Amino acid sequence: MKIIKAEAFDFHCTSRMVRDSEGHAHPGKEHDAKLGFFRVTCDDGTTGCAVGGKMNVDILKNVVGPAIIGEDPFYHERIWQRMRTWQRLHSTFTDRTLCALDLALWDICGKKCGQPVYKLLGAYRDKVPAYGSIMVGDDIPGGLDTPQAYADYAVQLVKKGYKAIKLHTWMPPIIPEPDPKMDIKACAAVREAVGPDIELMLDPYHDYSRQEAYYLAKELEKLNFLWLEEPMDEHSMSSYKWLTDQVDLQICGPETMEGKNRMRAEWVAAGASDIGRAGTEVTGGITSLMKSVHLYESFGMSIELHGNTIGNLHVLGAMPIAGKYYERGLLHPMLDYEQPKPWFKEIYDPMDSDGFVHIPQDPGLGWKLNTDYIDSNKIA
């Protein structure tokens, strides 16, 4: 079995998601947007695909594509390791782009074996509880513009079956300066609204000082929050070591710090967090993420996965140690998460009334891509 073709291109799509000047997502008017698509085809006709995820289409088309022609897709570890080393000099070859390649290869392997990817990884569970991951705060009336708006929306999420909720609070440019006291007002309002039995987490502004992060953690302890995630610049590992030593609240990280599993090994050795954090898009795919999973397992630590990616969902199905939750979102009262995007025939992570997302059971990754829509909207 050999790879004979690799295609990468952007395609037009309609979206109601807009991003502010700092990159945070908010609901907006429907508009034309574009997404990346990557498809690998083998000599027996088997294909594997990846979509979105901020992949660099130029790198996939001009660097990755030619390099994998003639390769056996089952040698995905060898291919991944080779491409990882190429990231050093190809400065725009991001982990999100490496993830697109890795997902496509795992998709092929699962299809060829007639099994969902999580079973190839070593299945541990068929479903995982989800937490509702609320979008960052905004200034939209009827949106997430006040602490009470957060509380009202959290009640709606509990009614839908969520047993856990994570807040992302207000960040620039919506507010001129981040305000930890405003963050705590939203957290307190949500705790009061949902009661003591719903687990709550906070992912605030990511560049607070040590003193501000300490204030957040101590206040969240009073509110019985489960964890605090990335409140400071993750390049300062010593700051996270300091905070983890100072407070009882669990500190979760690193999330966006580059370095894949090797950087996470440094954090474990330093005792810089209580809970690990990683994900397919921020570490370079399923192949990479499983290395971090087994790293944390070796130290008896849990690891939570970043984002609602289909790769994360399969890894969660294979993890013998928590990941306690699947991050479902980003959620907002003015957006319908259950409505599939036009490039999907259906969503890949529907949640049941008990708050569980079931791992896709179709061979490969199991997402129902609308390839007719994607191909017909290809940007030349």
Q: DSSP string covering 309-334, please?
A: -HHHHHHHHH-SS----EEEEEE-TT
* pLDDT score for 323: 77
* Dihedral sign (CA 155, 157, 159, 163): negative
Long-range own/partner contacts, residues 303-307 (CB < 8 A, 24 or more apart): 303/275, 303/276, 303/277, 303/278, 304/227, 304/252, 304/275, 304/276, 304/277, 305/277, 305/278, 305/279, 305/280, 306/255, 306/277, 306/278, 306/279, 306/281, 306/282, 307/279, 307/280, 307/281, 307/282
Q: What would the pLDDT profile of 286-326 be if each residue is shown by its tens digit? A: 999 999 999 999 999 999 999 999 999 999 999 987 778 99
* pLDDT score for 380: 84
* pLDDT score for 296: 96
% of the chain exceeding 70 in pLDDT: 100
Task: Evaluate whether 222 touches 198 at the Cβ level (below 8 Å).
Answer: no
* pLDDT score for 359: 97
CA distances from 242 to 16, 160, 238 (A): 41, 38, 6
Under the banding of pLDDT at 50, 70 and 90, the label for residue 170 is very high
Residue 137 has pLDDT above 80, yes or no: yes
% of the chain exceeding 90 in pLDDT: 98
Helix (H, G, I), strand (E, B), or coil: what is residue 138?
coil
* Dihedral sign (CA 176, 178, 182, 188): positive
DSSP designation for 108: H
Q: Give me the residue label for tokens 């190809």.
A: 90
* pLDDT score for 61: 97
Helix (H, G, I), strand (E, B), or coil: what is residue 199?
strand
The token pair that represents 197 in the structure block: 């039995």
Q: What would the pLDDT profile of 79-116 be if each residue is shown by its tens digit? A: 999 999 999 999 999 999 999 999 999 999 999 999 99
Closest CA relative to residue 223, chosen from 200, 193, 248, 252: 200
Mean pLDDT of all residues belonging to the chain = 97
* pLDDT score for 321: 74
Residue 376 has pLDDT above 90, yes or no: yes
DSSP designation for 168: E
Q: What would the pLDDT profile of 1-32 be if each residue is shown by its tens digit? A: 999 999 999 999 999 999 999 999 999 999 99
Under the banding of pLDDT at 50, 70 and 90, the label for residue 353 is very high
